[in-house]
Structure 1
Amino acid sequence: MKISATIITFNEEQNIKRCLESLLEVADEIVVVDSHSTDQTETICMSYEQVRFIKNEFPGHIEQKNFAIEQAAHEWILSLDADECLSDHLKTEIETIKSFDQTDFQAYSMPRLNNYCGKWIKHSGWYPDRKVRLWNRKIGKWGGNNPHDKVILDTDLRAGNLKADLLHYTIASLSAHINQVNKFSEIAARQLMNSDEKSSATFKMIFDPPFIFIKRYILQLGFLDGFYGLCIAVISATAKFLKYAKYRQLKSKK
Structure 2
Amino acid sequence: MSESLDIIILTFNEAKNIGDCLQSAALLKANIYIVDSGSTDNTLDICRLYTQNIFNHPFENYAAQRNWALDNLPLTGTWILNLDADHRVTPELAAQLNDIFSKSVDPEINGFLISRRTMFMGKWIKHGGHYPTYHANLFRQGFGHCEEKLYDQHFKVTGNTQVLKTDIIDVITDSLTSFIARHNHWATLEAQYLVEQQNAPLVDDNGKLVHPRLFGNPMERRRYMKKRYEAFPLFVRPVIYFTIRYFIKLGFLDGKTGLVFHFLQGFWFRFLIDAKIYELRKENKK
What TM-score, normalized to structure 2?
0.80
Q: Distance in 1 between matches of 2:48 and 2:70?
A: 19
Structure 1 residues 1-254: aligned runs within 5 Å: 1-48=3-50, 50-70=51-71, 71=73, 72-103=75-106, 105-143=109-147, 145-154=149-158, 157-195=159-197, 196-197=200-201, 204-235=233-264, 236-254=266-284
Q: Distance in 2 between matches of 1:75 and 1:92?
A: 18
Q: Distance in 1 between matches of 2:186 and 2:201?
A: 18
**How much has 1:197 moved relative to structure 2?**
4.1
Unmatched 5+ stretches in structure 2:
203-226
Residue 223 of structure 1 aligns to which amino acid in structure 2? F
What TM-score, normalized to structure 1?
0.89
Q: Distance in 2 between matches of 1:51 and 1:212?
A: 45
Per-residue CA deviations over 1:94-117 (Å, capped at 9, x if unaligned) read 001111133362211122111110
**How much has 1:162 moved relative to structure 2?**
1.5
Relative to structure 1, the CA distance from residue 239 to residue 144 in structure 2 (aligned partners, 3 Å threshold; closer, same or farther) is farther
Q: Distance in 1 between matches of 2:141 and 2:4?
A: 12
Relative to structure 1, the CA distance from residue 217 to residue 103 in structure 2 (aligned partners, 3 Å threshold; closer, same or farther) is same
Per-residue CA deviations over 1:160-181 (Å, capped at 9, x if unaligned) read 1222221111123333322222
**How much has 1:144 moved relative to structure 2?**
6.0
Identity of aligned residues (%): 30
Residue 15 of structure 1 aligns to which amino acid in structure 2? N
Q: Distance in 1 between matches of 2:196 and 2:22?
A: 35
Unmatched 5+ stretches in structure 1:
none
Q: How many residues are aligned here? A: 249
**How much has 1:122 moved relative to structure 2?**
0.8
Specify the alignment match of 2:223 in structure 1.
Answer: none
Q: Distance in 2 between matches of 1:121 and 1:3?
A: 29
**How much has 1:57 moved relative to structure 2?**
1.3
Report if aligned partners of 2:110, 2:157 keep a CA contact under 8 Å in 1: no
Relative to structure 1, the CA distance from residue 193 to residue 106 in structure 2 (aligned partners, 3 Å threshold; closer, same or farther) is same
Aligned-CA RMSD value: 2.2
Mean Cα displacement is larger for which, 242-251 or 33-42? 242-251
Q: Distance in 1 between matches of 2:120 and 2:29?
A: 27
Mean Cα displacement is larger for which, 103-112 or 82-91? 103-112
**How much has 1:30 moved relative to structure 2?**
1.2
Residue 259 of structure 2 aligns to which amino acid in structure 1? L
